[in-house]
Chain A
Amino acid sequence: MTQTLAETGVVERTYVDCIRQALQQLLRDDDRVVVFGEDVGAFGGAFKATLGLQEEFGRDRVFDTPIAESAIIGSAIGMATQGLRPIIEMQFLDFMNTALHQLINNAATIHFRTGNAVPITVRAPCGGGFGGGPFHSEELETIFCHMPGLKVVYPAFPCDARGLLVSAVEDPNPVVYLENKYLYRHVKECLADNFEPVPIGVARVCRRGSDATIITYGAMVHESLAAADVLAAEERQIMVVDLRTLKPYDHDTILAAVAATNRVLVVHEAWRCCGFGAEIAAGIAERGFHLLDAPIMRVAAPDVPIPFAPSLESVYRPSAGTIVEALRELIEY
C-alpha cells in the first residue's frame, strides 16, 4: 500500500529546519547529548536553530552560557572526556577566534597526546551575503582544515545538514560543523521525516557534465549550480562536486570528476590566499596533473576584509556571474 505524502512526513524543509530536526533527534536518541551556547535556550538561538529544544528537553540538556567562547569550548572538552556528547553553538563562526586555542591546541591534540577521545561538535554559522560586515560573515574553514585532529564538515543542502550533523555528533573526534547563514532559509528540499546519517569524508556529485568540473562547497554550491544552468543554455555541460566534508576530503571523487572533464574550477566563499581551494588545487596537481587540459582555476573572495555596503559585498562575494566568467575562460583555454 503506498503511503501518502503526509504519512511519510514529506514536507518542504529549510536548511535550518533540518539542523533543528537533527538536534532534536540527537537529544531524543542519546542521553549523552547536551546542547549549549549563547542564547540557545528559551530564545532558541540567534538563528532559531535550537528553537523549542530547551522546552522539550529541559535546562539540563539545552542551556545558555555566559559570553565566554573559550570557556564554552573548554567546558565541552571536559564534558566530552567524561562521557557526554556536547554540541556547541558558536553564535557566529567569527567569534570562535577568541577560543581557537581551546579548539586547536587543546581539543585537537588530546587524542594524539593522551589517547582520550574528545567527541565534541562545534556548530558555527558562517558566511556572508546579507550585509553582515567583517565580523559576522567570515569563512574560516581553512584554519580548521589546517589543524591535525579536527574534522570539518560543511553541508550545502538541507538533507546533508541533518545527515552530517548526526555523523558529526556520533564521531569520536572534535568536528567543526560549518553551517552557512545565507542558506538557512534560502534553500529548501521536500524531505521525509526519517533520514540516514551522511558519512563524513564523502563528496557528492550534484550535477554531471563533460565540459568542466567545479569543486566547491557551502553556499557556493548553489552559485555554481546557477552558473551551470547559464552555461547549459549555451550547450556547455558543467559538473559540480559538493565536497560536504573538507577534512578529511574526498580525493577520489575529486579526481574522478576531474578525469571526466579535464578542466577544473575550484570555488569558495573564503579568501583566496591560502584558502581551502589552494589545497584542492595542489591535491589535483599532485595526483591528477596528467588529467588536465587547462590550468586549475579558482574563484574565491578577494583578500580584503568583508565589506558592509551592498554595492561592495556584491562584488566581494563570488556569485553565479563570476563563476560563469571563469568557466568560459576555462573552457576556452
Chain B
Amino acid sequence: MPVCPSSSLDLNQIPRNQWLAIYRTMCRARFTEQRMIRLYHQAKIFGGVYTGFGHEAIGAGTAHAGGDNDLFTPCIRDLTVHLARGLSVLDVFRQFLARATGPTRGRDGNVHYGRLDQGVYAMISHLGAMISVAVGGVMARRRQGLDAVAMAYVGDGATSTGDFHEAVNYASVFDVPLLVVIENNQFAYSTPNSQQYRCKHLIDRAPGYGIEGVQVDGNDAVAVHLKVREIVGEMRQTPRPVLLECDTLRIRGHGEHDDAGYIPEALKAEYAARDPLDNMRRSLTDAEIATARELDTIDSECQQEIDEGYQQALAEPMPDPATLLEGVYAE
C-alpha cells in the first residue's frame, strides 16, 4: 500500500539539516530501545519494555514537522516523538530505571512520561484517552493567540475505543487543528486488524466525521515528513482535524514479554525488508543529502550518547521511600 514512495519525492525542498535531525532521532530511538531490550533480558529494568521498532519513521517524520508551540500526545511506540521534542536519552533511561531524577521521579514507569515544557503529554494506559487532552490543549493555545497544532498518536486498536470517536468528533465540531496519527501496525497486542475493524482503511472513517483522511507509508520517514509538513502548514491557516493513517508493522511483541508468535513470518519478512532506518539511509544517500560515512558518524554519536546516558542514570538514586506521599496535590 505504499502511497508516497520517497524515490519520487524531492528531498531538496527542505533544508538538509532537517533530514539529518530526523535520521538522528530515529537512530537515537532505535539504539536506545535496543539497549532497553538487552537490559530487560538482563533483568535490569523494572516492569515491562515496550518499543517502537518499525515505527520510527512515523514519530520522527511527524514530530519534526511541529513548531515550538505545538502539542503532542505520543503513545507507546513513540520514543521518537519525545526525542524530537528535546527529551534526552538520559531522561529515558532515568524513566525506565525508576530514578528520582527522571521525568516522573519514579512515580510512573516505562512509556508513561512526557515533559509539558517540551509540549509533550505523559500518556495514560487507557488507549484513545489522550486525544481529547491534545484537543483541549491546543484549544487553549489557540485561545492564547498561538497558531499551535496538536498531534495525537494512536494505534489501530485505539481506533475501536469510544474515546477515539468522542475526541475526533469533538475536534471536528470545534475545528481544532489536530493531526490524529494512526500508527496502523496491524496488531493490537495479539489481535489482528481483521478482528479490530471492518472498514477497508481506517481513514475511511474520516468522511463520517466531516474531515479529511490521508494515508502514508509509515516506514518511509521522507514520505511521512513531507506529507505532514504540508498538512500542518494548511492546518495552521485553516484549523481543522485530519486523520493520518500510517501503514507499518510492529516488528517486536507488544512488549518484550511477548514473542509475537501470532505475526506471520512472511509478513515480518516483508516489513523487515522495508525497515524505516534502512529506508531513510537509502533515501538520504540516494538523494545525496548525506554520505553513508556521515550517517555512520551520526550512528556512533548516538551510541555514545546512549552509553553515557545509561551509565549516568544507573548511578543516580531511586526515590526516597520517605517521599511516598509527596506530590499527590498541587499546592
Contacts and interface: CB of A to CB of B under 8 A. Distances in A.
Interface of A: 34, 60, 65-66, 68-84, 86, 98, 101-102, 105-106, 109-119, 148-149, 151, 172-173
Contact of B133 (A34, A74, A114): A74
Contacts of A116: 116
Contact of B167 (A74, A84, A105, A112): A74
A113 B112 contact: yes
Nearest to B141: A82
B124 interface: yes
B327 interface: yes
B106 to A, nearest CB: 10
Given A68-B167, A74-B135, 18 more contacts: A60-B143, A65-B170, A66-B169, A66-B170, A70-B166, A71-B131, A71-B170, A74-B133, A75-B135, A75-B170, A78-B139, A79-B140, A82-B137, A101-B126, A110-B122, A111-B329, A116-B116, A118-B330
B116 A78 contact: no
B132 A78 contact: yes
A80 B130 CA distance: 14
Given A70-B163, A114-B116, A172-B331, A81 B137 contact: yes
B47 interface: no
Which of the four size classes fits the interface of chain B?
Answer: 35 or more
A203 to B, nearest CB: 19
Contacts of B315: none
Contact of A113 (B108, B136, B140): B108
A72 B139 CA distance: 12
A78 B124 contact: no
A68 B133 contact: no
Contact of A75 (B115, B116, B132): B132
A68 B169 contact: yes
Contacts of A148: 328
A183 B254 CA distance: 51
B122 A111 contact: no
B302 to A, nearest CB: 26
B172 to A, nearest CB: 9
A34 B139 CA distance: 11
Nearest to A63: B174
B136 A76 contact: yes
A60 B139 CA distance: 10
A106 B137 contact: no
Interface in B84-124: 103-105, 107-108, 112-116, 121-122, 124
**Nearest 9 A-B pairs (CB), nearest first?**
A78-B136, A74-B132, A75-B136, A78-B137, A82-B140, A117-B330, A172-B330, A68-B166, A71-B166
A148 B329 CA distance: 8
A78 B133 contact: yes
Nearest to B148: A82
Given A71-B170, A78-B138, A173 B144 contact: no
A109 B107 CA distance: 10
A241 to B, nearest CB: 24
Nearest to A118: B330
Contacts of B137: 78-79, 81-82
B173 interface: yes
Contacts of B329: 111, 149, 151, 172-173
Given A83-B140, A84-B140, A114-B116, A102 B132 contact: yes
A78 B140 CA distance: 8
A304 B131 CA distance: 36
A82 B169 contact: no
A78 B107 CA distance: 21
A110 B107 CA distance: 10
B162 interface: yes
Interface string B201-226: 00000000000000000000000000
Contact of A102 (B129, B140, B144): B129
Contacts of A83: 140, 144
A79 B135 CA distance: 8
B306 interface: no
A74 B327 contact: no
B327 A112 contact: yes
A117 B327 CA distance: 10
B60 interface: no
Contacts of A75: 132-133, 135-136, 139, 167, 170
B22 interface: no
A85 to B, nearest CB: 10
B104 A105 contact: no
A111 B139 contact: no
Interface in B252-302: none
Given A74-B163, A82-B144, A148-B328, A113 B170 contact: no
Nearest to B134: A78
A144 B181 CA distance: 33
Contacts of B330: 111, 117-119, 172-173
Most buried by B among A75, A86, A119: A75
Contacts of B125: 105
Contact of A105 (B103, B105, B124, B131): B124
A115 B103 CA distance: 9
17 contacts: A70-B132, A70-B167, A71-B131, A71-B135, A71-B163, A75-B135, A77-B132, A78-B135, A79-B137, A101-B124, A105-B125, A111-B329, A111-B330, A113-B122, A114-B115, A173-B329, A173-B330
